[in-house]
């Protein structure tokens, strides 16, 4: 059975037994692991600037 045939829930269960950093090393295995790793990497985004350029960028994102 190809790994892509496994349901998402099963992959998440398997990955729950591994250290978080292991997911990032599995990015190249398949598309599903790539997406899970990116979701984990970019779960939180922080903006550290509060100037006019940042406000302009936020307005453009709307």
CB-based burial label for 30 (10 Å; 0-12, 13-18, 19+): middle
pLDDT tens profile 8-58: 889 888 888 988 888 888 888 888 889 888 888 888 777 777 788 888 888
Please say whether the beta carbons of 8 and 32 come within 8 A: yes
Q: What is the predicted pLDDT for the residue at 11?
A: 86
CB of 26 within 8 A of CB of 37? yes
- How much is the pLDDT for 2? 56
> Greater confidence, 50 or 60?
60
Rounded to two decimals, the pTM is 0.56
Q: How far is CA 43 from the centre of its chain?
A: 6
Q: What pLDDT, on a 0 to 100 scale, did the predictor assign at position 37? A: 86
Nearest to 4 by CA among 25, 33, 43: 33
């Amino acid at each position: 059975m190809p790994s892509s045939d496994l349901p998402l829930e099963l992959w998440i269960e398997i990955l729950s037994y591994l250290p978080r950093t292991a997911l990032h090393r599995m990015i190249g295995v398949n598309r599903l692991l790539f997406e899970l790793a990116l979701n984990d990497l970019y779960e939180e985004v922080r903006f550290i600037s509060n100037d006019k350029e940042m406000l302009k960028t936020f307005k453009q994102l709307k």
